Amino acid sequence: MSRPPVPPFTEESARVKVQAAEDAWNTCDPDRVALAYTEDSVWRNDATGRWWRGYGDEQWEFDASGLTRRREASINDVAITESERRVFGPRSAEERGVDVLPLR
C-alpha cells in the first residue's frame, strides 16, 4: 500500500487522498484508519449500529506530512433503515471517484 499524496494538493491528488480515506474507512480496521490522523486528533463515534444519512459540509486540514490534523463537519443526520442505504461496503471500480450518488 503506497502512501496517499501530501499537501499541497492538486485536484487529482486530492481525489486520490479522499478515495484512500474512503477505502481505509470501509475496511472497518481502526488501526488502518488511524494511520491517516495525527496523534492529537479528536474523534466522536457512534457505535450503536444505527444507519444514518448525512447532509452537510466538511473542512479538512492536513499537517505537512499529509496526516489529518483537523476535520470539522456541519452535518444534519437523518436516521434511515438498512434497506434505505445506498452504499453497501466498498464501491466498485466503476463507482470510484464518482462525485454524486444517485438520489432517491
Kindly report, residue by residue over 26-52, the tens digit of the pLDDT. 888 888 888 888 888 876 656 677 777
Around Cβ 75, how many Cβ atoms within 10 Å?
A: 13
pLDDT surpassing 60 at residue 72: yes
Instruction: Say whether 27 sits in a helix, a strand or coil.
Output: coil
- Is 46 a member of any domain? yes
- Is 89 a member of any domain? no
Q: How far apart are CA 29 and CA 19, in angstroms?
A: 16
Q: What pLDDT does 94 receive?
A: 77
- Is 3 a member of any domain? no
- Is 1 a member of any domain? no
Please say whether the beta carbons of 18 and 10 come within 8 A.
no
The residue type at 38? T
Q: What pLDDT does 46 receive?
A: 60
- Is 96 a member of any domain? no
Q: What pLDDT does 90 receive?
A: 73
pLDDT (average), residues 53-60: 86
Going by C-alpha positions, the residue among 67, 57, 6 that lies closest to residue 33 is 67
Q: What total of structural domains would you count in the chain?
A: 1
Question: Would you state the torsion angle of the CA atoms of residues 96, 15, 88, 104, taken in this order, to the nearest 10 degrees?
Answer: -90
Q: What pLDDT does 47 receive?
A: 64
pLDDT (average), residues 17-33: 84
Give the global pTM. 0.53
Task: Find how far residue 63's CA is from the centre of its chain.
Answer: 17
Percentage of the chain with pLDDT > 70? 81
- Is 94 a member of any domain? no
Please say whether the beta carbons of 19 and 96 come within 8 A.
yes
